[in-house]
Each structure stands twice: as structure tokens, then as C-alpha cells.
Amino acid sequence: MTATNRQKARLGFVLMLVMAAGCAALTAAPPGDTPADRGKVVFEQRCLPCHGAQVKGDGYPFLKPPPADLTAFAARNRTDAELLVTIRHGHPDTAMGSWRFALTERETGDVLAYVRTLQK
Ligand code: HEC
């Protein structure tokens, strides 16, 4: 059985659709699984109530001392190691608690990666 022109045209059309779908899949945004993407989820669940969506200490500003503005010069210029110590162990006598039992090492690194993206 030979294919009619109409069948060939239909096959061509289907192939074109498959290729178009393939291109769309390739150009679609990559799945959000970078450390910063994962850290955003951790931040929104754990840190946002105090540090706020802007990360400027705008979540619950009535604490004494208030939540740190993580975009401020001081936080921007601290090393990863310094900020990780604060996240893991907290700051004594402030509302910044210790997260070392609540977050895994990976979550702690991820949340810092997210904070760094907001400091730029
Ligand atoms: C209950 C409120 C609260 C929550 C929740 C909270 N923080 Fe804080 N955070 C604070 C306060 C208050 C300070 C300021 C401490 C100070 O002034 O010494 C602070 C300070 C910090 C600092 C130090 C900034 C600097 O300049 O050294 C970092 C980093 C930080 N927080 C990250 C986080 C991360 C990440 C989370 C979530 C895992 C989090 N915080 C959750 C209240 C909070």
C-alpha cells in the first residue's frame, strides 16, 4: 500500500508538531533545583516571618534587636563561614535562634545561597 499525498501531508504535520513540542521542552525554564531555588523554599518557611520577603528585616520588625537586614553592608560583607555560624548557632540574647537541629547541612547551605542572590 502506498501512502496517498494526504497521508504524507498528515504525517508531515504530526512530525512538525512533535519537533515543535521538542523545541518547546528544550527552551522551557530549567527545573528549579539549584541550591538557591531550594534555599528559597527553606527561607520562605523558616526565615521569612522575621527577615521578611525583602530579606531586609521587614518580616517582624518589632523585635529588639530587630531581624537583621540581610542585604545590608554588614551582612553582604561577611564571609559565608561567618553567616553559616550565625545560621547554625544563632545570636545569643536575640530572636535569631540556632537552626542546626532544624535544618540539614544542605538546607543551611541552600538558604545561604538564596540569601546571597538577594544581596546582589
Ligand atoms: C524569630 C525571628 C528570626 C527568625 C525566624 C530568623 N532570624 Fe535571622 N536574625 C533575627 C534577628 C533578630 C537577627 C539579628 C541578631 C543581632 O542583631 O545580633 C538575625 C540575624 C541573622 C543573621 C546575621 C546577619 C549579620 O549581619 O550577621 C543571619 C545570616 C540570619 N539572621 C539568617 C537567618 C536565616 C537563614 C533564617 C532562617 C533559617 C533566620 N535568620 C531566621 C531573627 C530571626
Query: Is it the case that residue 77 has pLDDT exceeding 80?
Result: yes
**Which pLDDT score, from 0 to 100, does residue 23 have?**
54
- Pick from 44, 51, 64, 112 the residue to mutate for probing ligand 1's pocket: most ligand atoms within 8 Å of its CB: 51
Tell me what pLDDT residue 70 has: 97
Per-residue pLDDT, averaged over 17-42, amounts to: 74
pLDDT of residue 10: 75
Residue 43's pLDDT is what? 97
78 pLDDT more than 90 = yes
Instruction: Give the pLDDT confidence score for residue 107 in this predicted structure.
Output: 98
- 27 pLDDT higher than 60: no
Q: How far apart are CA 76 and CA 118, in angstroms?
A: 10
pLDDT exceeds 80 at position 9? no
As for ligand 1, residues whose beta carbon falls within 6 Å of it are 46-47, 49-51, 63, 65, 67-68, 70, 74-75, 78, 83, 86-87, 91, 94-96, 99, 111
Q: What is the mean pLDDT of the chain?
A: 88
